[in-house]
Structure 1
Amino acid sequence: MILSSLELKTLTSSDLTAILELDLACFGGLWTMEGYQRELDSPNSDLLGLFSPQSSINLLGMGCFWSILEEAHITIVAVHPQYHRQGLGQALLYFLLKTACDRGLERATLEVRASNLAAISLYQKFGFQTAGRRRGYYQDNGEDAIILWLPDLQYPQFHKKLHYWESIIRDDLINSHWSLVNSP
């Protein structure tokens, strides 16, 4: 089996064009260049990307969270539609949670469209629980957002889960013909 290399790296201003292309493919142009530049410039924001030199698409996936007090507020988990169901979303979520853990953050939260059952399933797989609902949260269609919450990032049990998830994710990526070559 021939594996394509997959590289995770912290995104920078030099990646802005690729970020905007991925945003357009996944969200139809949700954020502007200025919005992403603010994320890249903020010391409270972590923006991670997945790249593969074997792909014609520059940026395959990205994830972002804001550090707010002791919380990681996940704002983006996006995988290019051509690369769905290959383990890239769970790899991004894992690395976001690991980065939050390494930063000393104590919990993670996010909002997800109530209709996005695939994303909700992914988040629940990682232990996120429903904490509430924001009615009419999404401006494009008035859809509700489900608020998901993951506590205890600094507890020893969570660190054991992270180690377990890493091995599962690497195996899943290999099964989808990916080899993760490095991580930040």
Structure 2
Amino acid sequence: MNTLNIKLKPVTAEDLDAVVTLDRICFGRLWSLETYQRELDSPYCDLLGLFSTLSSEKLLAMGCFWSILEEAHVTILAVNPQYHHQGLGQAILYFLLKSAYDRGLERATLEVRVSNSPAISLYQKFGFKRAGKRPNYYQDNGEDALILWLSGMQQPQFQTTLAQWYTMICDRLSFFQE
């Protein structure tokens, strides 16, 4: 049953309060309102959100990447904890990678806390491989970050992979609206 009425859309200035709220819930204020505004203003940034008109929390998940040369550097992937384990992380990651593919980017990279097993599992499910470690990367506790890479995004088989991921997302979120 459609209980969330989920819709993907680019984040706009009108959504920034919801973005900052989700950032606070998920990351404890990783970025400020001004930082997110700079992301919106940059032609090298894609900031996407999964929104619901039927939930008390309008913004359920968000993701962001920077386009740097041929690379998508995923900077944010957040799902409201109330909606964990419902496929929203898969959906937002898929749409980030699809957007990067559409931009003609060759690779994607990101950093993730070594202790964040659910996120690491999600990224590996989408083909990311470990490329290294950044010692003491996170300022809040000095935790190390794993560097993960996904390559071959402009290879012919990647379009097939995107189609398979899309089917997986739609099967999981049968009420999803694009």
2:75 aligned with 1:79, yes or no? no
How far 1:151 moved relative to its partner? 0.3
Q: Which residue number corresponds to residue 54 of structure 2?
A: 54
Listed one character per residue, the Cα deviations across residues 113-151 of structure 1 (whole Å, up to 9, x for unaligned) are 000000000000000000000000000000000000000
- Matched AA of 1:168: M
Spell out the pairing of 1:1-184 with structure 2 (5 A cutoff).
Answer: 1-174=1-174, 179-182=175-178
Classify 1:84/1:172 alpha carbon distance in 2 versus 1 (closer, same or farther; 3 Å): same
Q: Structure 2 stretches of 5 or more lacking a match?
A: none
* Separation (CA, whole Å) in 2 of partners of 1:51 and 1:84: 15
* Separation (CA, whole Å) in 2 of partners of 1:157 and 1:33: 39
Listed one character per residue, the Cα deviations across residues 81-129 of structure 1 (whole Å, up to 9, x for unaligned) are 1000000000000000000000000000000000000000000000000
Larger relative contact order, structure 1 or 2 (CA cutoff 8 Å, min sep 6): 1
- Matched AA of 1:90: Q
* Separation (CA, whole Å) in 2 of partners of 1:68 and 1:4: 34
* Separation (CA, whole Å) in 2 of partners of 1:45 and 1:38: 9
* Separation (CA, whole Å) in 1 of partners of 2:123 and 2:60: 19
SS of the residue 1:139 aligns to? coil
TM-score (norm 1): 0.95
Q: Structure 1 stretches of 5 or more lacking a match?
A: none
How many pairs were matched up? 178
Tell me, yes or no, if the aligned pair for 2:3 and 2:54 is still in contact at 8 Å.
no
SS of the residue 2:176 aligns to? strand
Q: Percent sequence identity over matched residues?
A: 65
Tell me, yes or no, if the aligned pair for 2:111 and 2:145 is still in contact at 8 Å.
yes
* Separation (CA, whole Å) in 1 of partners of 2:176 and 2:46: 20
SS of the residue 2:173 aligns to? helix
* Separation (CA, whole Å) in 2 of partners of 1:21 and 1:144: 26
